[in-house]
Chain A
Amino acid sequence: MQKLLLLGAEAIAQGAIDGGMSGVYAYPGTPSTEITEYVQDPELARQRNIRSQWSANEKTAMEAALGMSYSGKRAMVCMKHVGLNVAADAFMNSAITGINGGLLITVADDPSMHSSQNEQDSRYYGKFAQIPILEPSNQQEAYDMAYFGFRLSEELEVPVMLRITTRLSHSRTGIVRKEEQPQNELTLPKDLKQFILLPSLARKRYKKLVEARPKFEESSAQSAYNRFFDGPDKSLGIIACGIAYNYLMEHYPNGCDYPVMKICQYPMPRNKIKEFEEKVDELLVLEEGYPMIEELLAGYFRKGKSVHGRLDGTLPRIGELNPDIVGEALGFEVPEEEEVPEIVAPRPPSLCVGCGHRDAYSALNVALKEYGDGHVFADIGCYTLGALPPYEAINSCVDMGASITMAKGAADAGLHPSVAVIGDSTFTHSGMTGLLDAVAENTPITIIISDNLTTAMTGGQPSEAENRLENICEGIGVDPEHIRVVVPHHKNHDLMVEMMKEEFEYKGVSVIIPRRECIQTLARKKRNKVAGKRV
């Protein structure tokens, strides 16, 4: 069969499509974005009539997917690791409701923080929710897991987490497809109370979840993704999880000298791990992310056989793995590291020339001059680059939506002016509820919603805020006289400075919306127009 050249993320999308998925819900976030983008490819979407939406945030996406599962159809929700924090309430409880149609929760972690605030390991969430986790070691396995994942979810009657990391998601390779499965028919759950988590019912459901544990382990034990490979040298046994298996095998293309246990489905099959442990003198755990399995096997007092990994210093405690790091841990001679020539200057990312965020920051810096530094709570998006020179205009970036609420808390503490800078998509993701908090107490803060009419940071997905911002702010209760829209442009610099100064002195909630289309999406629309394509 002809191989398709796909990114890991795209392989998951193709696997889910071929596996009979009826809908995908997501909020963009690197490195998960390409999954949903692939499903939204116009040609494919037309052919298969699969629902796909960029939801307001990860929680709404998770819930929509759960609703589709309730209705008997196969659904997937995709997010980056920190998105799962946002979706956590729905996520944790979905383990207790269980599913009707197969439900895949695809979470993309970003160890080494290539484009994230942290490197949290989503496997802990899977363990926390007590559901099975699939962690592919390569892109073909990612395809297969998405393809079979719905069936696994239906067999085990719980949502299944599909956990990937940056390198798996953003690496392209040839993928072999499987036969297309039909989508499920609309069918309600047999028990119409299954999804009602009233305490009396929730207790029963939770008991069912906990009691299903041996079944989950049995599934892992039988799983084709978890495999034992014997090796002649029993002085060490290697447990290699997910993509770490590849970094191991890079050093042993013809088979490893040591016995290897490849783990790509969790919970780990306890009996198999025990058998494995008995065969070898010591253990080395290779896992991409936190030392979750290592900690489990080593135990608090480290009383059993020696377990090596990130905790005992065999591997670095933080950051992603790579073939060099794994090779060193295995005692391979690593070539002496050559330095990057001194002449090479850093080239950090920066706001595009012509970007409206630039004009907003130029004005903000001038408007705030007389008040001194330290007044600006920003948020997550392209405009976070305002932290870097030449602007150095912001003082915080914590989690999506935190700009408005942190500005509120600081204003409550007496900071004046207290300014929030947030993007349009981030505002509808999780800024609106914070705005309500501020409106409820008429807190003196100024919120700058720097509106570029798109979700730019992640590549220009549509923003649900489009054409709605003023109405939303007014509806939440901001005084219309203090909702001010301006075109962020060099020629409006003085106007913007004046506007900001006026609103800083207003003793209530004010919103300034500098609005100009992202120059990247504008350029893309122009190109597509020339090429005669639909936008």
Chain B
Amino acid sequence: MKKDIIISGVGGQGILSISAIIGMAALEAGLNIKQSEVHGMSQRGGDVQANLRISSDTIYSDLISHKSADLILSVEPMEALRYIPFLSPDGWIVTNITPYKNIPDYPDEEALFAELKKHKNHVLVDADRIAKECGTARAGNIVMLGAAAPFLDIPYDMLEFGIKKIFGCKGEDIVNINLKAFKAGMEVSEQVLAGK
């Protein structure tokens, strides 16, 4: 088993917690992982990404090669497109649809979604709305994690373990809301996959 995943978003959107949960789950599942993050300069509202590599074999490079990512998981639609050069021809784009507009020349949304839809394998997730329905707008990240879950090849229990570990200190209610958000996200992708 081997998965190369790029997680993308804007500094401050919390992509590192998604990456941390998947990392913990993979480790718990006895897999090897490498999770390369961007720190420093790029966190000030700039674009950020993490390279996450999971494998049952030894992983050498911390970085993912061009055209070899199995999945781009993005919490922002334009940021998903920034990493297209890394996506493998059969790879999936799973992205949140809410734009984060902190720049003056943010592209036209219709054109943006048309560009995303050019890629045959995509799941567009209204993560902000789903998160609110689950009880908190803050769980958008976890909705996205759920949407990515069917592409990860990591058992559900392990991901649940990761979520409990990250949110455990915040109390049972928060854990439950996040588990709900996770499942809701997962359903979106499962529906898309069922329609394929």
Q: Flag B26-64 by CB within 8 Å of A: 1 or 0 each.
A: 010000111111111111111100010000011111111
When C-beta atoms are compared, the residue in chain A nearest to B52 turns out to be A172
**Bound form: Cα–Cα A531–B171 in Å:** 11
The answer to whether B135 has its CB under 8 Å from any CB of chain A is: no
The answer to whether A337 has its CB under 8 Å from any CB of chain B is: yes
Q: Given the complex, which residues of A lie within 8 Å of B169, measured CB to CB?
A: 531
Centre residue among A343, A350, A352, A531 by max chain B CB count within 10 A: A343
**Bound form: Cα–Cα A334–B68 in Å:** 11
- Chain B nearest CB from A405 CB (Å) reads 24
Q: Do B37 and A349 touch (CB < 8 A)?
A: no
* Residues A345 and B78 in contact in the complex (CB < 8 Å), given A338-B84, A350-B44, A352-B45: yes
Centre residue among B27, B57, B105, B106 by max chain A CB count within 10 A: B27
Task: Out of B33, B39, B45, B102, name the residue touching A173 (CB < 8 Å).
Answer: B33
The answer to whether A105 has its CB under 8 Å from any CB of chain B is: no
When C-beta atoms are compared, the residue in chain A nearest to B59 turns out to be A173
The answer to whether A183 has its CB under 8 Å from any CB of chain B is: no
* Residues A334 and B66 in contact in the complex (CB < 8 Å), given A30-B40, A172-B23, A341-B84: yes
Q: Do B41 and A247 touch (CB < 8 A)?
A: no
Q: Do A340 and B44 touch (CB < 8 A)?
A: no
The answer to whether A313 has its CB under 8 Å from any CB of chain B is: no
The answer to whether A458 has its CB under 8 Å from any CB of chain B is: yes
Q: Given the complex, which residues of B lie within 8 Å of A528, measured CB to CB?
A: none
The answer to whether A86 has its CB under 8 Å from any CB of chain B is: no
**Which bracket fits the contact residues of B?**
35 or more
The answer to whether A34 has its CB under 8 Å from any CB of chain B is: yes
The answer to whether A327 has its CB under 8 Å from any CB of chain B is: yes
Q: Do A170 and B41 touch (CB < 8 A)?
A: no
**Bound form: Cα–Cα A481–B82 in Å:** 52
The answer to whether A271 has its CB under 8 Å from any CB of chain B is: no
Which residues from 96 to 114 on chain B have a C-beta closer than 8 Å to any C-beta of chain A? 102-103, 105-107, 111-112
Which residues from 346 to 389 on chain A have a C-beta closer than 8 Å to any C-beta of chain B? 346-352, 382, 385
The answer to whether A115 has its CB under 8 Å from any CB of chain B is: yes
Q: Given the complex, which residues of B lie within 8 Å of A327, measured CB to CB?
A: 65
Q: Flag A108-137 by CB within 8 Å of B: 1 or 0 each.
A: 000000110000000000000000000000
The answer to whether B173 has its CB under 8 Å from any CB of chain A is: no
Q: Flag A1-29 by CB within 8 Å of B: 1 or 0 each.
A: 00101010000000000000000000000
The answer to whether B132 has its CB under 8 Å from any CB of chain A is: no
Q: Do B44 and A323 touch (CB < 8 A)?
A: no
Secondary structure call for the B interface: mixed
* Residues A338 and B42 in contact in the complex (CB < 8 Å), given A171-B34, A173-B33, A347-B103: no
Q: Do A335 and B41 touch (CB < 8 A)?
A: no
Q: Flag A232-253 by CB within 8 Å of B: 1 or 0 each.
A: 0000000000010011111001
Q: Do A345 and B85 touch (CB < 8 A)?
A: no
- Chain A nearest CB from B36 CB (Å) reads 4
Q: Do A324 and B41 touch (CB < 8 A)?
A: no
Q: Flag A138-170 by CB within 8 Å of B: 1 or 0 each.
A: 100000000000000000000000000001101
Q: Do B34 and A343 touch (CB < 8 A)?
A: no
The answer to whether A339 has its CB under 8 Å from any CB of chain B is: yes
The answer to whether B150 has its CB under 8 Å from any CB of chain A is: no
Q: Given the complex, which residues of A lie within 8 Å of B59, measured CB to CB?
A: 173
Q: Given the complex, which residues of B lie within 8 Å of A345, measured CB to CB?
A: 78, 103, 105-107
Centre residue among B23, B60, B105, B170 by max chain A CB count within 10 A: B60
The answer to whether A409 has its CB under 8 Å from any CB of chain B is: no
Q: Do A253 and B58 touch (CB < 8 A)?
A: yes
The answer to whether A413 has its CB under 8 Å from any CB of chain B is: no
16 examples of A-B residue contacts, CB within 8 angstroms = A5-B27, A30-B39, A31-B40, A114-B42, A171-B34, A172-B36, A173-B35, A246-B61, A249-B60, A322-B63, A339-B85, A340-B84, A343-B111, A343-B115, A347-B103, A349-B44
**Given A33-B39, A174-B27, A338-B87, 4 more contacts at CB 8 Å?**
A114-B40, A114-B41, A346-B103, A385-B44
